[in-house]
């Protein structure tokens, strides 16, 4: 079998099942199974292969192998998982975010491009590297790690209620050679000290809408990272009403929001004493980030 034939076989199965981005997903699963990057796979598409034979990116790296070395089995297992709507990121165990690489699992929300808008907004507005930042509901740690790595802020802390999320965020900080302070806490309950900036991508899906989400999200992302209560605003209410004990006067709060939540969340922030409230759109032109400054006391 040739590399191209193996790839086409997997792509065909995904297409027949109606899986979105079938060709892309099959390629990534194949690259991961053989330990190749995109260039290595392209270079070897027309080579005769057997399982485990692709050991590098040069044609000379391909060696004869008379038996099943396991890579094709790994690829087929990945394709079968994707047919069951297991997210691609869970199959390969990691994903890209803000140009960095993050380990993921079923214990945390998969980092998404929409959330890059949140990180980019903070990086654009907060130029002082001496500020202190707290990331609530950190999950994989993608927001906190990206801010520390790309913004060079001196103090970045991240909190989550889940022990498994804290463990994974710690691992991602290490992978990306960053140091952040990790705290197990139900929002502000066990947070010590004060911060200049609070950032969060909280659960914001209305409870009754969760069953309408794609199987990849509904069945594989942790429910606690999705469920925002009856109207999707439960965690926003808590954050804006409780943050005054942790956010410095004149500090800023940045939050990811659903595309139709800007007015409601903005109203909550106004009542809690925030001013200069702004909304930022994502690449699709949808409201995605809201931020404001806590009124000086």
**151-191 pLDDT tens trace:** 999 999 999 999 999 999 999 999 999 999 999 999 999 99
CA 193 to centroid of chain Cα atoms: 27
Structure tokens at 275: 């001013």
Tell me which residue of 56, 52, 57, 95 sits closest to 75, measured CA to CA. Answer: 52
Supply the pLDDT for residue 43: 85
At 184-237, the pLDDT tens digits run: 999 999 999 999 999 999 999 999 999 999 999 999 999 999 999 999 999 999
Question: According to the model, what pLDDT value does residue 160 have?
Answer: 97
The closest of 184, 209, 176, 201 to 116, measured between CA atoms, is 201
Please tell me the predicted confidence (pLDDT) of residue 54. Answer: 44
- 3-state secondary structure string across 246-267: CEEEEEEEEEECCCCCHHHHHH
Band of pLDDT at residue 296, cut at 50, 70 and 90: low
Contacts of 42 (CB under 8 A, 6+ apart): none
Query: Per-residue confidence at 68, pLDDT binned at 50, 70, 90?
Result: very low
Average pLDDT over residues 110-120: 97
Name the token pair of 125. 């507005």
Instruction: Set out the domains of the chain in order of their start, with CATH numbers.
Output: 3-84 (no CATH), 95-294 (3.40.50.150)
Is beta strand 195-200 parallel, antiparallel or unpaired with respect to 247-256?
A: parallel
Tally Cβ neighbours within 10 Å of residue 264.
17
pLDDT band per the 50, 70, 90 thresholds, residue 56 = very low
Cβ atoms within 10 Å, residue 46: 11
The model's pTM: 0.90
Straight-line distance from the first to the last Cα atom of the chain, in angstroms, rounded to the nearest whole number: 71
Q: Using CA atoms, how far apart are residues 7 and 178, in angstroms rounded to an integer?
A: 37
Q: Residues near 123 by Cβ (< 8 Å), separated by ≥ 6? A: 147, 150, 151
Closest CA to 171 of 101, 218, 109: 101
Q: What is the mean pLDDT of the chain?
A: 91
H helical segments located in the chain: 3-16, 22-34, 38-43, 71-83, 88-92, 113-125, 142-151, 163-175, 215-218, 234-242, 262-271
Which stretch of DSSP H or E encloses residue 95?
strand 94-97
Q: Residue 262: which of 236, 287, 242 has the closest Cα?
A: 287
Per-residue confidence at 69, pLDDT binned at 50, 70, 90?
low
Rounded to the nearest angstrom, the gap between the alpha carbon of residue 237 and the centroid of all alpha carbons in its chain is: 23
- CA dihedral 161→154→109→176, nearest 10 degrees, is -120
Distances (CA, A) of 17 to 30, 79, 83, 232, 288: 18, 11, 7, 32, 31
Q: What is the CB neighbour count within 10 angstroms for residue 240?
A: 25
Three-state secondary-structure class, residue 245: helix
CA-angle at 177, arms to 130 and 254, nearest 5°: 45
């Amino acid at each position: 079998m040739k590399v191209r034939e193996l790839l086409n076989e997997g792509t065909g199965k995904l297409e027949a099942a109606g899986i979105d981005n079938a060709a892309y997903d099959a390629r990534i699963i194949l690259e991961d199974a053989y330990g190749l990057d995109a260039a290595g796979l392209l270079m070897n598409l027309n080579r005769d292969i057997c399982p485990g034979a692709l050991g590098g990116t040069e044609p000379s790296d391909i060696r004869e192998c008379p038996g099943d070395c396991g890579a094709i089995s790994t690829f087929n297992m990945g394709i079968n998982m994707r047919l069951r709507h297991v997210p691609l990121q869970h199959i390969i165990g990691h994903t890209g975010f803000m140009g960095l690489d993050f380990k993921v699992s079923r214990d945390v929300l998969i980092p998404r491009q929409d959330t890059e808008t949140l990180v980019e907004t903070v990086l654009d507005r907060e130029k002082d590297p001496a500020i202190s930042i707290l990331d609530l509901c950190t999950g994989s740690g993608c927001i906190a790690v990206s801010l520390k790595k790309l913004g060079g802020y001196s103090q970045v802390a991240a909190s989550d209620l889940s022990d498994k999320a804290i463990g994974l965020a710690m691992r991602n900080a290490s992978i990306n050679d960053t140091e952040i302070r990790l705290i197990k806490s139900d929002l502000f309950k066990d947070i010590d000290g004060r911060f200049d900036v609070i950032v969060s991508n909280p659960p914001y899906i209305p409870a009754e809408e969760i069953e309408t989400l794609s199987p990849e999200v509904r069945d594989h992302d942790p429910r606690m990272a999705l469920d925002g209560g009856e109207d999707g605003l439960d965690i926003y209410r808590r954050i804006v009403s409780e943050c005054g004990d942790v956010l410095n006067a004149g500090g800023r709060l940045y939050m990811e929001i659903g595309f139709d939540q800007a007015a409601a969340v903005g109203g909550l922030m106004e009542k809690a004493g925030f001013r200069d409230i702004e909304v930022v759109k994502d690449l699709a032109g949808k409201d995605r980030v809201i931020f404001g400054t806590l009124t000086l006391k």
